[in-house]
Structure 1
Amino acid sequence: MKTEYLDKGSINRAAELLSAGELVALPTETVYGLAADAYNPDAVAATFAAKGRPADHPLIVHLSSVQEMAFWAASVPQEAWDLANRFWPGPLTLLLRKGKRVPDVITGGRDTVALRLPAHSLFLLVLKRLGRAVTAPSANRHKRLSPTSAGDVRRELDGCISGVLDGGDCALGLESTILDLTAAPRILRPGPISAKEIESCLGQAVEQPVAHSVAVAGNLREHYRPQAPVWLVPAGSLDRVVGEVQSARLGVLHLPGNRPTIGNCIEMPPSAVDFGARLYRQMRDLDESGCEAILVEEPPADVSWAAVHDRLRRAAMCTASEARAINEVLQSSAVGAG
């Protein structure tokens, strides 16, 4: 299959491909999504094959209007309308009881459906031209880093999908917040919309468990991973850990003022929003530069960093306090390369 690379003026072509049952990567404000016509079960099923994604891992339906919730959900609680009117278009996904017409292929056979209305202008134009909703998980191989540029999609899925609409770099760089509204509101995946913002809108407390067993996008222990192993390093411990690892082919993402003496070092922004926007980009760059391992200095424990901590926990093999284990891995890879 030849993948078409479309510029921002190719809205009609992107919609045409989707209407024909093809897969097209589209830019959102979070990450690039692999879109399929949500009304075409065969097209949706092809998404799982292209990504290597398990069929029981539910997809998010991307709507073109707030009113479309009523079609996809069995019922829409007032909280959902309030949140949609406040945060849509935007990076908030709502988990509701699914309507009878929702295909099982979208929900993994579960009785819930995840809905959101993306904020990227090109995505919205494609939806308007297509005239119906799409499913759109991240446009990458299963468990890999989500793509934040059209070039990332090319490296992941070239030849496996029909098109990529280039909308430039994604503004937020982390996936949407997923909020479960099937019972008391709780965040199942932290993201750009915080618990505090949701609580302010709803006027009630919102749960935010660190771990849970609900099947939603991104809720796998191993996820958002580059090829190189990732280890988290306690703040202020980089020099010690880097010294114990003793490898020049080490990638390091560090906080301002904490640059270690060796390794391929990238200083990350001090704010949670900016750190999150650059996280996948910098990990992908280090990965593609040939680093044998990537050390990430742990950011502050403040709740504003919840989404960043979630992605780092899923990307990391273990904590970097086990520096001797890192050294063993690097030595093993050096032996294997010979």
Structure 2
Amino acid sequence: MTLLLDAKRDSDLQHAISLLRAGELVAVPTETVYGLAADARQPAAVSGIFAAKQRPANHPLIVHLGHIAQLEEWVTQVPDVALALANHFWPGPLTLVLPKATWVDPIVTGGRDTLALRIPAHPALRELLQRGNLAVAAPSANPHKGLSPTSAAQVMACMQGKLAAVLDGGDCTVGIESTIVDLTSAEPRVLRAGPITASTLADFLGSPVHHPQQHNVAVPGNMQVHYRPRTRLKLKTSAEVQLDPGYRVARLLLSEPQDPVSVGFALTRLMPQDKPAYARLLYRALHEADQLGAKEIWVELPPTSEDWADVQDRLGRAASS
């Protein structure tokens, strides 16, 4: 049985800490998506994440810290650029990839000699990490390649019985996974698009930040098929998404619907044109559309500007087959 705990209740927060210390899995809220957490210092507990998600063992995890000072424990060195980014963007949706400390178990890193770390901005998770003196490995709390959850209810719907508890901290305020930046080479590289763009990072650092369109570095989310609902997802132009398909379709639009209500549309959701608001609602809308028994989900293509790169990335992978 999976417990549903309330992050606002002190006794429930303490219970979540006790479960993690005991080697159990607990879904926790972050500002990005809900994470399936295990004590990162316990390899047996971390292995449970892979079993629960059916995730390949060579796919690295992100370790969530409570304090910047913990960096020195988990990596061999903290370069100046890492410390500058951490001090400016943490807590927040930025993950840094650095050479791992020798003691860190390969189960956490997918067998690699690098480690991905960040400090999350959700107040309940930060309180849990700091009060419990914990660091947790926590990929998204959903089956492998599935839609990331942005609410406790979504976690319960897809993972109940596979973990000890879900800590309900409300809906995620960012709603899309963190930016991942590799700091192991001379020039920082964005390995996963996220809410913090390469241009934002470059402006802060005053030096270039590379953002390759394709790379073969194993990081969370770097799979051709990922973030996928059970219902087939298709990306459509603003003209195509207005056409009556003749079968049941759920639509996520950026432009106003031009057609009368049609029995073919199981759902028509007008999404925000503001990028942060769109990202915050994207997975919630896809989860809703996925429950309707429609033949397909149609999503109007988002803008191609850099600030929409993370949305483009997630939708592109969700539509892959």
TM-score bin, normalised by smaller chain:
over 0.9
Q: What are the residue-to-residue correspondences of 1:56-71 with 2, within 5 Å?
A: 56-71=58-73
Aligned ranges 1:179-190 → 2 under 5 Å: 179-183=181-185, 184-190=187-193
Kept after mapping to 2: 8 A contact 1:3/1:162:
yes
The equivalent of 1:246 in structure 2 is 246
- Name the counterpart of 1:6: 5
Which position in structure 2 is the counterpart of 1:331? none
Q: Note the residue ranges of structure 2 that are not aligned, 5 or more in a row.
A: none
Query: Are 1:311 and 2:310 counterparts?
Result: no
Please, which of 19, 26, 44 is the counterpart of residue 17 of structure 1? 19
Q: CA deviation at 1:259?
A: 4.7
- Is the 8 Å Cα contact of residues 259 and 265 (structure 1) preserved in structure 2? no
Which stretches of structure 1, 4 residues or longer, exceed 2 Å deviation after superposition? 258-262
For residue 161 of structure 2, give the secondary structure of its aligned residue in structure 1. Answer: coil
Question: Does the 8 A contact of 1:256 with 1:269 survive in 2?
Answer: no
For residues 107-147 of structure 1, the C-alpha deviation after alignment (integer angstroms, 9 at most, x for no partner) is: 01101100000000000111122212110100000000000
1:202 to partner: Cα distance: 1.1
Is residue 2:200 matched to residue 1:197?
Answer: yes
After alignment, is 204-213 or 279-288 more displaced? Answer: 204-213
Contact 1:93 1:179 survives alignment (8 Å): yes
CA drift at 1:258 = 4.0
| 1:48 paired residue among 37, 47, 50 | 50
Partner amino acid for 2:311?
V
Check whether the contact 1:25–1:35 (CA below 8 A) recurs between aligned residues: yes
When residues 3 and 189 of structure 1 are mapped into structure 2, their CA distance, relative to the original with a 3 A threshold, is same
Contact 1:63 1:117 in 2 (8 A): yes
Q: Please tell me the residue identity of whatever aligns with 2:117.
A: L
Rounded Cα–Cα distance in structure 2 between residues aligned with 1:45 and 1:280: 26
Query: Matches of 1:152 and 1:317 in 2, distance apart?
Result: 23
Q: In 2, are the aligned partners of 1:29 and 1:172 still within 8 Å (CA)?
A: yes
1:33 partner letter: G
Tell me the percent identity.
49
SS of 1:197's equivalent? helix
Unaligned runs of 5+ in 1: 319-338
SS of match in other structure, 1:310? helix
- Which residue of structure 2 lines up, in the alignment, with residue 213 of structure 1? 216
Root-mean-square deviation over aligned CA pairs:
1.1
Contact in 1 for aligned 2:195/2:307 (Cα 8 Å): no
Change (3 A) 1:259 1:192: farther
- Superimposed CA distance per residue, residues 165-199 of structure 1 (whole angstroms, 9 cap, x where no aligned partner): 00010001100000011111111111111112211
TM alignment of 1:118-129, pairs within 5 A:
118-129=120-131
Amino acid aligned to 2:143 = R
Give deviations 1:140-172, integer Å, cap 9, x for gaps.
000000000000000111011000000010001
Secondary structure of the structure 2 residue equivalent to 1:152: helix
Q: How many residues align?
A: 313
- The aligned runs of 1:98-113 (5 Å cut-off) are 98-113=100-115
How much does 1:260 deviate?
A: 4.6
Q: Is the 8 A contact 1:253 1:265 kept in 2?
A: yes
Structure 1 letter corresponding to 2:229: P
